[in-house]
Structure 1
Amino acid sequence: MLDIGLTGGIGSGKSAASTAFRELGAVIIDADQIAREVVEPGSDGLEQIVRTFGADLLDPQGALDRPALAEIVFGDDEARAKLNAIVHPLVRQRSSALKQQAAPDAIVINDIPLLAEGSMAAAFHLVVVVHTPRDVRLKRLIESRGMVESDVRGRMASQASDADRSRIADALLDNSGTPQDLVAAATALWRDRLKPYADNLAAARPAAHASETVLDESARQRALARVTFAAAAVDDAATTTYLDETTIGVRPSDPGNKTSLVRRFGEAGWFTGDPDSTAPLRSSDPRVPLDLHIGDPSAR
């Protein structure tokens, strides 16, 4: 399946983008919704929070008093780290279970508000960022949600910057226009990149890349980060680097790891179009014309 990370700053319209992708056929995994589920009354998550922060965080019905918890962790890095250490593993566990229920050829959209802050980009096949200028987000949040301007600015300041999110973005969805504009942008991305990529993954084949496609440095670094992340799952001592502008090299710490690496890279979207086992793997992403060489670089 194609595993996509979707993110954006507060007020960017990420939920509207999720809705558009759902209507196109995506499986949506909402991290915020799951984070609420894993701390419901009677859950292990809520029990851990009470042990850590105290029973005063329970309302009269025994549910988590979210505003009270927010007051504790907002602006307190240590308290927020403790909360994240409780909630994040539970969210990952539940998200993984939901993915296992999806069809092998599904396009899974992981709606994650703090994807950039959590340094999770390399774990996904692609990252899509919903981008809306700060002044537009500010205006929308004040007018549509009734939020106080100072609160909005504080929330924005606590999140990753637009530049930080742009650096991890494989695709930007501009939401500075109308809702119809956002749907049109999501539909075009689905048609031109997500669906072809998902089809290639399902068929275990590399993409037919246009020879004139050239990656910029940011895209090259994102590709290298994903390869490094995938390799570490099999061989945490493997080294990865660019051998040239179109080829990433992976040197296993043990040559015997090559078969396992090939299998793991297949899950990450890299396949060979040649039955010859010495052929390089190639990206199945139609926008990433890269080869992947496993072994001694001098043997290419």
Structure 2
Amino acid sequence: MLKVGLTGGIGAGKSAVARRLARRGAVIVDADVLAREVVAPGTDGLTEIVAAFGDGVLTAEGALDRPALAARVFGDDTARRTLEKIIHPRVRARTAELTHGAPGDAIVVNDVPLLVETGLAPSYHLVVVVEAERERRIRRLVETRGMSADQATARIAAQAGDAERRRAADVLLVNDGPLDELNTRVDRLWRDRLKPYEGNLRLGVSARPDRRLHIADPDPTWPEQAARLVARIQHALPAGHAVSHIGSTAVPGLPAKNIIDLMLSVRTLEEADALAADLGAAGFPKRPGEWVDNARGIPGETWPKRLHGGTDPGRPVNLHVRVAGSPGWRFALLMRDHLRAVPEARAGYAAAKERWVAEHQERATYADAKEPWFDEEALAADEWAEATGWQPHP
């Protein structure tokens, strides 16, 4: 099933997004609700809290006195970490239970206020962040939650900042206008991305790329996008597997097709095949067929690999799975580093792309047109590597 992480700073409007997604058919798992459930009267969670903080955090009826507990932990990092060690594992266990109980074709949205702070982003197929301007958030907290302006400011300051949440966001929903505008954005997200993403994931097929050939201007967020994908892949696999950002989107300032190319290093292609199921479950299914790289300068020879795609229609991905140390693996890293380091080589590639786009309207003929340039780049990059003592670093 598709697992979506939903987060946002306090007062940003995350709950409004969750409600709208629920109306569209999403299964909502609310971490705040679960955090109350796991410390309800009679639970071992409440017993452990009392043992850690004393009877003063209980009401006269024996329930958790949340304002009293908040006063104990606010501004005290040691007390806060103690409380988190009690609540977070229980919330995660209950979340897993509810997720596993959802239908196989469900879109499960985990509403997690501290998703970024707790490092949970890589565990979801997609992370949606709701953001609003700071003064607007303070006003909402004063008007809807009865806080003073100082209390609202302190609560906001205690959470991750907007920049940190943006780095974790696959989707950023800005909520600085009326509710109708936010609902329209959520509906569009549901229709154009979440529903097709779920279908692709369930069927184990890659999202169909745009058939039109288009070279985009350099996007400074490509490395951040790649970093999120890398973290997601590494979370899905056993520890120790290197995943690299390669290709044109890994070279700052270089125009490129808006497709993130990544490379997973494996010891053998048999290991690659053994990892295919985990990659598919994470949203990167194996593409059918036999895939090889051109052996630069060696007629008739090829370098075998595996190729996986992404199921997210909003973020095209090619995941090349290559044996570490193989010629194809080395060339992918060498070309990336050569183009990063040598401005003339980078400028030459950008100019060549402009010519090829003018001459070719289809992806296949564009790819064929690049092959002679790649042969020349392989020679130039090898010379550069020998001169500089370059070593591959995934």
User: Relative to 1, partners in 2 of residues 1:299 and 1:194: Cα closer, same or farther, differing over 3 Å?
Assistant: farther
CA distance in 2, matches of 1:187, 1:254: 44
> 1:230 aligns to what?
236
Is 1:287 paired with 2:314?
A: yes
User: Relative to 1, partners in 2 of residues 1:213 and 1:21: Cα closer, same or farther, differing over 3 Å?
Assistant: farther
Amino acid at match of 1:192: D
SS in 1 for 2:6: strand
CA distance in 2, matches of 1:104, 1:115: 24
SS in 1 for 2:275: helix
Quick check: 2:280–2:286 contact (8 Å CA) kept in 1? no
> 1:110 aligns to what?
110
Alignment of 1:104-143 (within 5 A): 104-143=104-143
Quick check: 2:268–2:323 contact (8 Å CA) kept in 1? no
CA distance in 1, matches of 2:214, 2:236: 27
Number of corresponding residues: 297
Quick check: 2:116–2:168 contact (8 Å CA) kept in 1? yes
Deviates more, 1:72-81 or 1:241-250: 241-250
User: Relative to 1, partners in 2 of residues 1:74 and 1:256: Cα closer, same or farther, differing over 3 Å?
Assistant: farther
Amino acid at match of 2:18: S
> 2:287 aligns to what?
273
> 2:224 aligns to what?
218
Quick check: 2:208–2:313 contact (8 Å CA) kept in 1? yes
State the Cα deviation string for residues 157-187 of structure 1 (Å, max 9, x = none).
0011111111111111121111111110100
> 2:245 aligns to what?
242
Q: Which ranges of structure 1 fall in alignment gaps of 5 or more residues?
A: none
Considering Cα pairs closer than 8 Å and 6+ residues apart, tell me whether 1 or 2 has the greater RCO.
1
> 1:252 aligns to what?
266
State the Cα deviation string for residues 31-52 of structure 1 (Å, max 9, x = none).
0000000000110111111111
User: Which has the greater radius of gyration?
Assistant: 2
CA distance in 1, matches of 2:269, 2:189: 39
Deviates more, 1:152-161 or 1:241-250: 241-250
CA distance in 2, matches of 1:288, 1:186: 18
Distance apart, 1:202 and its partner CA: 1.1
Quick check: 2:266–2:272 contact (8 Å CA) kept in 1? yes
Quick check: 1:237–1:253 contact (8 Å CA) kept in 2? no
CA distance in 2, matches of 1:255, 1:84: 42
TM-score (norm 2): 0.72
> 2:384 aligns to what?
none
> 1:90 aligns to what?
90
Amino acid at match of 1:109: V
Distance apart, 1:257 and its partner CA: 4.0
Amino acid at match of 1:222: R
Distance apart, 1:142 and its partner CA: 1.4
Distance apart, 1:254 and its partner CA: 7.1
CA distance in 2, matches of 1:133, 1:10: 11
Alignment of 1:56-75 (within 5 A): 56-75=56-75
SS in 1 for 2:165: helix
CA distance in 2, matches of 1:186, 1:6: 12
> 1:47 aligns to what?
47
Alignment of 1:75-224 (within 5 A): 75-210=75-210, 212=214, 216-224=222-230
Quick check: 1:209–1:288 contact (8 Å CA) kept in 2? no
Quick check: 2:206–2:285 contact (8 Å CA) kept in 1? yes
SS in 2 for 1:19: helix
User: Relative to 1, partners in 2 of residues 1:64 and 1:85: Cα closer, same or farther, differing over 3 Å?
Assistant: same
Alignment of 1:23-34 (within 5 A): 23-34=23-34
Quick check: 1:242–1:248 contact (8 Å CA) kept in 2? yes
SS in 2 for 1:16: helix
CA distance in 2, matches of 1:81, 1:225: 25
TM-score (norm 1): 0.93
User: Relative to 1, partners in 2 of residues 1:77 and 1:222: Cα closer, same or farther, differing over 3 Å?
Assistant: same
User: Relative to 1, partners in 2 of residues 1:227 and 1:173: Cα closer, same or farther, differing over 3 Å?
Assistant: same
Quick check: 2:276–2:286 contact (8 Å CA) kept in 1? no
RMSD: 1.8
State the Cα deviation string for residues 192-212 of structure 1 (Å, max 9, x = none).
111111110111101102254
Quick check: 2:272–2:306 contact (8 Å CA) kept in 1? no
CA distance in 2, matches of 1:241, 1:121: 19
Quick check: 1:241–1:248 contact (8 Å CA) kept in 2? yes
Q: Which ranges of structure 2 fall in alignment gaps of 5 or more residues?
A: 250-259, 292-304, 329-394
Amino acid at match of 1:2: L
> 2:351 aligns to what?
none
